[in-house]
Amino acid sequence: MKKLFLLTIIAVSFTQLTAQVKIGDNPNTINANSMLELESTNKGFLPPRVPLNSLSSTAPMTATIAEGTLVYSDGGTLPDGYYYWNSTRWVLLSTARDNYVRVRSAADFPAPVAGVITLVAGVEYEINGTITLTNSINLNGCSIKGEDSANDKLVYTGGGSMFTGNKTGNLRFLTLTAASGSIFNIDALATAQNMIVQNCFFLGCNSIGTIAGVGGTVFFATVAYFVNTNGITFQNDNNVVMNNTLWDNSNSNIYERFVGTFNVIQLLGGDRLTLSANSAKALDISGITSINAGSAKVIMFVGTGTYVVGTFTNAWEVEASGISTQKDDVAGGNMYISTPVATTFAAINTPVKVLGTTTSAGLFRMTSPANNRISYGGSKTRSFYVSGAMSISQPNSNRFFSFYIAKNGVIIPESRQDIKVVNSTDQVSLPISCRVSLAPGDYIEVWVANQTATTDVTVQTLNLSIQ
């Protein structure tokens, strides 16, 4: 009988050790997949409270801590909150933010006034799914973000603009659509704001719109455009930076237009795919009236449409596939004598500028404002190699001449080339070359000195190149 009672106790104990546990209301009803279930309509779960003072220390706990251990830190030097041990340190569980709104419908935004939803300053709005808007949004310095650019969407059905007003903001991980109106009509009124757009799709828009008067920086990064009728206009913005941009060939008309005054425009990376059938024009810079520095690099211009409308000024550096490289490093050109004229001397061994009518050719960031002169028109000081060849004649016998390259009217000694002309029937040739550093506005010329007399010399031919 005792043996039977002992076996019964062992069996009951084993059942209790392996059974599920329910604490609180309805103790006889437990979820089939739960080892431990708590249920109450008026009580909460209270974990162990310990004062944590360091993320990397197990104290005040003494034994080895199992990974996944959860505590509530209360009274330590670390901020109060729930922490779990990840085998090497304590990790604070994220807590709800006061300045955060999850948007599941347009009703989760602030109520519109006169057709405009003005976001609450300092609040981040997270788009969850597709949100259809009939009213415009004043960003008011806020962030609107999604978690998935392909599935978190703002669809504007009005005839105006999705984003309007004089306040900028931050857009991330969204698809933006405005089939009848435009996405942007923002004028920041030259105030020190920033407009940031990252990891977004612009899809099926009548127009991307206009961003104007941003006194800080307009920054677009990893942005793609598909099936848009009209592109985006930047007007009188301080700095515009566009990194890794894709314009698919499904877009039409002008993709990116710049109008007015800018400090810096930087276009870096991405593709501009154009079709002439869509009247596509990738970049329109014809409306820029002033710019301090511009850059268009590592971009692929592809397709049958127009790549650039307007002319890059000397403030630009351009290195992009499909259009010519344009920067100070490739500045150069050529000058030659088209009508020879005798050069006279007032004194022996005194250099003077070679006379004659010259013609320039192939000048890039160079000008020829006077005969026998090439002037550098770039934006930064750089080193150039000057080389040339000429033939000369003179009306006397046994004359010695020295030819030079002069910079800003001052001869460069190392460029000197000497030649002797034996008689008046000779026409002799000589090369000339040197390396010279030129700042914007500096110029070079060919000069000559008569070492034996003051009789004249005529440069019959001259071909001078700078690069």
Judge whether 142 and 169 are in contact, CB under 8 Å: yes
Q: What DSSP string describes 189-242?
A: EEES--EEEES-EEES-SEEEEEEEESSEEEEEEEEEES-SS-EEEES-SEEEE
Q: Is the dihedral of CA 6, 12, 16, 18 positive or negative?
A: positive
Dump strand ranges (E) for 104-142: 116-118, 124-127, 130-133, 136-138
Residue with tokens 């008569």: 450
Alpha carbon dihedral 130, 132, 133, 134, in 10-degree steps, equals 170
What single DSSP character describes residue 147?
S
Predicted local confidence at residue 127, as pLDDT:
97
The pLDDT of residue 96 is: 59
Rounded Cα distance between 438 and 62, Å, is 73
User: Which class does domain 332-466 fall in?
Assistant: mainly beta
What pLDDT does 66 receive?
Answer: 86
List, run by run, the mean pLDDT of 10-residue segments along the chain (467 residues). 44 51 77 77 82 85 84 84 83 73 96 98 96 98 95 97 98 98 98 98 98 98 98 98 98 98 98 98 98 97 98 96 96 97 97 98 96 96 97 95 98 97 94 97 98 96 97
d(CA 294, CA 291): 7
pLDDT at 97: 65
pLDDT at 6: 45
